[in-house]
Amino acid sequence: MMTAHDYPSAMFCERAELDVVLVGDSLAMVALGYESTNQVTLDEMLHHCRAVARGAKTPFLIGDLPFGTYETSAEHALRSSIRMVQDGRMEAVKLEGGHELAPTIRKITSVGIPVLAHIGLTPQRAASLGGFRVQGKTADRALRLIDDALAVADAGAFAVVLEAIPEAVATEITKRVGIPTIGIGAGAGCSGQVLVALDALGVYDRLSPKFCKTYGEVGKMSTDALAAYVKDVRERKFPESGKHTYPMAKGEEDKFAAAVAKSA
Ligand SMILES: Nc1nc(=O)c2c([nH]1)NC[C@@H]1CN(c3ccc(C(=O)N[C@@H](CCC(=O)O)C(=O)O)cc3)CN21
Ligand SMILES: CC(C)C(=O)C(=O)O
Ligand SMILES: [Mg+2]
């Protein structure tokens, strides 16, 4: 699984044969420049979801429910989920939380919208977690994470994201819970993995979680390419006559020169 946030990133996921594409609310930070994920609205998410749906036809598409669109009631969560499917062209939704969201997961899945749960480091709750901190580091906290995973599975979640938790804890959850686990900073014992595309591509450099691996230097390539363009234009090496320019119609150049000479 990989996140995507627009038409080209979705096309790259399609061509790279990703199984699942998540339109993550991390796009608030990586694509829109917000300070946190909690500033992005459902309408903004839907705008990105539609673009991703146009670019990725084969992968399973999941939309992240943004902060404030599913917490107040199961009914509100269902309404937001329906918009994700109907307006955003997503096939499933993701929400952050454990046992406390079990009734919400039951409500959304009861009408046939698949739900991906997300536990461990839940970025929408970063303020109460003390920032982007690894979760489940003590035996007591780890057991609570297992209970949360079991609760969301029992409520009908089709899979669960495990973010920033110790490898041993994620491996144990994966063994115990009857649904696939998708890890991000949770080790190879998970059923699958997810990363934020602009992290994997080496574009976003304002955060550098230990769990990120950079598979390309697209940020540097983009800056270098644009700098080369600026240099070429300033030195008048671009555009090249003939190669990047259009001729007039046959015989018209002479006529044009004559007409210009006459009018001058
Ligand atoms: N570009 C990007 N990538 C992400 O993975 C991501 C976002 N943005 N925004 C929303 C959340 C925030 N995430 C983050 C951000 C930072 C760390 C981080 O730096 N963690 C510390 C752990 C510190 C500790 O508790 O020991 C690290 O060193 O990895 C983790 C997850 C994951 N999500
Ligand atoms: C990293 C994934 C799991 C996510 O929630 C996001 O990109 O918003
Ligand atoms: Mg998210």
Contact between residue 157 and residue 105 where contact means Cβ atoms under 8 Å apart: yes
- Taking the mean position of all CA atoms in its chain, how far away is CA 229? 29
- Enumerate the β-bridge partners of residue 60: 20
- Please give the model's pTM, rounded to 2 decimal places: 0.96
- pLDDT (tens, 9 = 90+) of the chain, 264 residues, equals 999 999 999 999 999 999 999 999 999 999 999 999 999 999 999 999 999 999 999 999 999 999 999 999 999 999 999 999 999 999 999 999 999 999 999 999 999 999 999 999 999 999 999 999 999 999 999 999 999 999 999 999 999 999 999 999 999 999 999 999 999 999 999 999 999 999 999 999 999 899 999 999 999 999 999 999 999 999 999 999 999 999 999 999 999 999 999 998
Q: Is 17 left (phi over 0), alpha (psi -120 to 50) or beta?
A: left
| Residue 97 Cβ contacting ligand 1 at under 6 Å | no
- Asked if ipTM goes beyond 0.85, one says yes
Q: What does the pLDDT read at residue 21?
A: 99
Q: What does the pLDDT read at residue 146?
A: 98
Q: What does the pLDDT read at residue 264?
A: 82
Which of 71, 91, 163, 252 does the annotation list as catalytic?
163
CA separation for the pair 181, 179 (Å, rounded)? 7
Mutate to test the pocket of ligand 2, among 13, 25, 90 (most ligand atoms within 8 A of CB): 25
| Residue 37 Cβ contacting ligand 1 at under 6 Å | yes
| Residue 207 Cβ contacting ligand 1 at under 6 Å | yes
Q: What does the pLDDT read at residue 214?
A: 97
